[in-house]
Structure 1
Amino acid sequence: MPAAHIARAPGRASFRLGAVSGVVRPRLILVWLVLALITFLVFCLTVALGSGDLAIPVSDVVPALWGSGDTVTLFAVRELRLPRAMVALLTGAAFGASGAVFQGVTRNPLASPDMLGITQGAGAAVAAGVTVGALGGLSSQTLGLVGALGAGLAVYLLAWNRGTTGYRIVLVGIGVNWMCVSVIYYLLSRSKMMEAQKILGWLVGNLNDRGWNQARPLAIALLVLLPLLVLLGRLQRTMQLGDEVAAGLGTPVQRVRLVLLLAGSALAAFATSAAGPILFVALAAPQIAQRLARTPAPPVTAAALTGATIVLISDLLSQRLMDDMILPVGVVTGVLGAPFLLWQLARANQAGTGG
């Protein structure tokens, strides 16, 4: 048995056991555990106080999830509120993780799927399917998935010039974003009243009438892509040192960047197809997680938990703010996220990275 070697530094500890080595960040682990607990508590609160006149004690939610409780409570929890809460949880986690990937790859705190055209690509595809009606009768969920993946691939290909850089990805992404927005506006201008209402209802980001049909594909995507992002985390951290330094350390920079961008785009695509383009979650969640964990780049798993908490809280507010209607969750995240974006822009300008 080889001896273990441990070296401590401020905020982290590195270890080597034979051919296996790694770095442990105690603060990141603590932040992850606290965020997981907060996410679970907010999830239970959302299920307990969701839409409807029936208020369920939070203490009864967990037993009901396991099939214990009276008939009314079980029906309200498992049939009415749990599917919507699961979509909110998974959507927020996917957006948060996707935002962490994009901000880490581009080394830009303002980079996120809703700023780089990914979610707008989904919106353009859905608007085309509703207005033109010539896309084979595909559902809005399928159209959103295809549109978002197509936009992500377009950003990468257009940014390619014997390789890609974070700066080019951001610039090309902004261009693709506004091209897709122009397509959406054009399709809205030629659509009928009912078609325009359907498009706008999807574009704002909505969890109404969402259930297991939306939750299952998103859960599978997270189960596949999150472990991949965790495995690539070490290589992504070396890329924070710059492409030349990362290549000198043996990192296949372009291949890793391509895989990360495809994985981040896929997460955003599945989240957008499930609930529409819920804005600002992918922008805010990674930055909040990074500040809590005090890491050089946004941590993916912590960002996923932060995004899940943001969407769950926003969904609860959307159901309870007004007595006579349920607001789209995107309206709430927009109100909460716009000040955060302005603060991020001001902070980037002060740091000299805002352009």
Structure 2
Amino acid sequence: MTVLSRGPERTRVARLGPATALWRPRTVVVCALLLLALAVALLVALSVSVNFVPPARVIATVFGHGTPAERLIVGELRMPRALVGAVVGLALGLSGALFQSVTRNPLGSPDVIGFDTGAATGALVAMLFAGGGVVPTSVSAVLGGVCTAVLVLLLAQRGRSVAPLRLVLVGIGIGATLAAVNSMLIVGAQVYDAQSAAVWLVGNLAGRGWDRLVVLGPVVAVALVLALLVGRSLAVAEFADDRAASLGVAPDRVRLLAVGIGVLLASAAVATAGPIAFIALAAPQVARRLTRATGPNLLASGLTGAVFLVLTDWAAREAFQPRQLPVGVLTGVVGGLYLIWLLGREWGASRPGAARGGRL
């Protein structure tokens, strides 16, 4: 294998026979550190609570050497919720990175352009009119997300291609309409069903068990592999269409494939935990700042989303004892503060004299 350094971002080309792969040392290091941070976040979520379990005992329990009480607390109550949170955060981070790359817009996340709302509509129909259940809710959410995506893509078409800015604007409009539909569904439901649906719409990981992980895990694993396979072509498709075509990439086809994978990831996450806000929007931006690399930064975005959701769910579970907040409340607060900080930073950078004095 030969490794060559090229470009200002220190991209390296690894060659093994006829196969080549591009990688950046900083991105590899960031992903490794994010994996370590995810392991630490999972350990904190399994250990630190009202009923504290020492980290050494948590590790022993994970490997099958815990006491019956530890197996109940760690293995049956905390571990499924933490792992579901990690997989949902991974799915949301990946989905946000895909959509932001397709739209070439930092606001192009599935919760902004309506795909999460469409998946929530499908899940609400299953919950309120078909008795709920893991499989019917999941299938209905995916169908809702797919139908919303098809509608948005059809309305966003300009000629034979999809205009990225038009995609964002149409998606925002469709999302607002579907949010009104969701409110109508809740208002027309029975009181108990309406209360459960309203809590679910905030985004919640409480009560998520192994059955959810069995359904969600394979879907996200397959979508992750597909996303990584399309990632290199998607990075090229971020250029102007004529330049991407000159490099051997069909931009419209790549974007359509990326949208399909992103819709699958977002719909699976919504079906499992409800429409959790801001992770799909913020995780790719944080990952890009950590790696300082161009392109979609898929793996780093997914790991950032996983770490963020596991930690925020643990905080929502423990910070307000004896009550627990839905995790969507806390991600909304943190995401809102992040957006305020980001807008303030950009405003400071755009002020006269900012180039001389540096960014605030």
Q: Same fold (TM over 0.5)?
A: yes
1:125 counterpart letter in structure 2: G
- Give the letter for the 2:37 counterpart: I
| Structure 1 partner of 2:29 | 30
Using the TM superposition, give the Cα deviation of residue 104 of structure 1 relative to its aligned residue in structure 2, in angstroms.
1.0
Alpha carbons 1:110, 1:344 under 8 Å: kept: no
Determine which of 84, 87, 95 is the counterpart of 1:90: 87
Cross-structure match for 1:323: 321
| Partner secondary structure for residue 13 of structure 1 | strand
Aligned residue number for residue 12 of structure 1: 11
Alignment-derived partner of residue 214 in structure 1? 212
Instruction: Answer yes or no: is 1:283 the counterpart of 2:281.
Output: yes
| Distance in 2 between residues matched to 1:105 and 1:26, nearest whole Å | 25
TM superposition shift of 1:14: 2.5
Kept in 1: contact 2:231–2:296 (CA 8 A): no
Could you list the per-position Cα deviations for residues 110-144 of structure 1 after superposition, in whole angstroms to 9, with x for gaps in the alignment?
1111001111112222334455x269998433332
What displacement does 1:248 show? Answer: 1.4
Deviation at 1:334, TM superposition (A): 0.8
Q: CA offset at residue 329 of structure 1?
A: 0.7
Partner of 2:358: none
Seen in structure 2, the aligned counterparts of structure 1 residues 247 and 330 have a Cα distance that, compared at 3 Å, is same
Structure 1 counterpart of 2:96, from 86, 95, 99 = 99
Letter in 2 for 1:93: L
Please give the secondary structure, in 2, of the residue aligned with 1:309. Answer: helix
SS in 1 for 2:106: coil
Gaps of 5+ in 1: none
Q: Counterpart in 2 of 1:127?
A: 124
CA contact 1:280–1:337 (8 Å) conserved in 2 = yes
Residue of structure 2 aligned with 1:117, choices 114, 117, 123: 114
2:196 to 195, 198, 201: 198
Partner SS state of residue 239, structure 2: coil
The gaps in structure 2 that reach 5 residues or longer are 351-360
Taking a change above 3 Å as real, the CA distance of residues 55 and 136 of structure 1, as seen in their structure-2 partners, is closer
Deviations 1:234-263 (A, max 9, x none): 111111222111011110111111110000
- Match of residue 226 from structure 1: 224
1:40 alignment partner in structure 2:
39
Q: CA deviation at 1:145?
A: 2.7
CA contact (8 A) 2:3 2:12 kept: no
In structure 2, the CA distance between the partners of 1:350 and 1:155, relative to structure 1 (3 Å rule), is: farther
Mean Cα deviation higher: 144-153 or 229-238: 144-153
SS at match of 1:232: helix
The Cα of 1:55 is off from its aligned counterpart by 0.8
| SS of aligned partner of 1:238 | helix
Deviations 1:175-208 (A, max 9, x none): 1111111211222333342232122011000111
For 2:228 and 2:132, locate their aligned partners in 1 and report how far apart those are by CA, in whole Å: 37
- Counterpart residue number, 2:153: 156
- Greater CA deviation, 302-311 or 143-152? 143-152
Q: 1:347 to 1:101 in 2, by over 3 A?
A: farther
Aligned counterpart, 2:233: 235
Normalised by the length of structure 2, the TM-score is 0.90
Supply the AA of the counterpart residue of 1:212. Answer: W
* Distance in 2 (alpha carbons) for counterparts of 1:166 and 1:90: 28
Identity within the alignment, %: 37
Contact 1:6–1:13 under 8 Å retained in 2: yes
Number of matched pairs: 347
Call closer, same or farther: CA 1:16–1:130 in 2, change over 3 Å.
closer
Structure 1 residue identity aligned to 2:156: A
The RMSD of aligned alpha carbons is 2.3
- Match for residue 243 of structure 2? 245
> 1:149-169 CA deviation, whole Å, 9 max, x = no partner?
222222222222311121121
Aligned pair in 2 of structure 1 residues 167, 349: CA closer, same or farther (>3 Å)? Answer: farther
Task: Specify the SS of the correspondent of 2:4.
Answer: strand
